[in-house]
Amino acid sequence: MEMRLGCNLALIGVVMGRFFKTLKDSLDFFSDYPLLILPKLIVAALYSVLILATAGLILDSSGLDATDLAAALLLLVLTLILGLLDTFASSMYPFLVRQIRGGKKLDLMKGLSEAFCLAPRTMPPALIIEGIFLAMLFAFWIVFSFLLPLPSSPQPMVSDPYELVFSGFYILLAVAAVYFFYSIFPVAAFENRGIIGSLRRSVSLTLQAKADIAKATAVSFMVSGLSFALAFAISLFGEENLWFWAAFIIVRFLTAYIYAYLYVLNPVFYLNYFAGGPASETAIAETAGKEQVKISKKKIKSMPSRKGQRGR
pLDDT at 248: 76
Asked, for residue 102, whether it belongs to a domain, the answer is yes
Q: Rounded CA gap, 300 and 81, in Å?
A: 29
Residue type, 229: A
Burial of 114 (0-12, 13-18, 19+ CB in 10 A): buried
DSSP 8-state secondary structure symbol assigned to residue 245 = H
pLDDT at 310: 47
Asked, for residue 211, whether it belongs to a domain, the answer is yes
pLDDT at 236: 63
Asked, for residue 5, whether it belongs to a domain, the answer is no
Asked, for residue 24, whether it belongs to a domain, the answer is no
pLDDT at 140: 86
pLDDT at 241: 65
Q: How far is CA 312 from CA 15, 60, 108, 306, in A?
A: 71, 58, 46, 10
Asked whether the beta carbons of 119 and 127 are under 8 A apart, the reply is: no
pLDDT at 226: 74
pLDDT at 221: 87
DSSP 8-state secondary structure symbol assigned to residue 158 = -
pLDDT at 86: 93
User: Residue 234 in 3-state DSSP?
Assistant: helix
Number of domains in the chain: 1
Q: Rounded CA gap, 247 and 228, in Å?
A: 13
pLDDT at 3: 44
Asked, for residue 177, whether it belongs to a domain, the answer is yes
Residue type, 262: L
pLDDT at 123: 95
Asked whether the beta carbons of 40 and 256 are under 8 A apart, the reply is: yes
Asked, for residue 185, whether it belongs to a domain, the answer is yes
Asked, for residue 171, whether it belongs to a domain, the answer is yes
Q: Rounded CA gap, 81 and 62, in Å?
A: 27
pLDDT at 278: 40
Asked, for residue 20, whether it belongs to a domain, the answer is no
Q: How far is CA 22 from CA 95, 165, 271, in A?
A: 17, 35, 9
In 3D, which of 166, 147, 184 has the Cα closest to residue 266? Answer: 184
Residue type, 83: G
The distance from CA 183 to its chain's CA centroid, rounded to whole angstroms, is 11
Q: Where does the chain show beta strands of DSSP type E?
A: none
pLDDT one-digit tens code per residue, 176-234: 999 999 999 999 999 989 999 999 999 999 999 999 999 999 988 888 777 677 666 66
Domain that holds residue 74: 34-274+283-289
pLDDT at 60: 64
What residues in the chain have per-residue pLDDT under 50?
1-15, 153-159, 277-286, 288, 293, 295-296, 299-300, 305-312
pLDDT at 235: 61
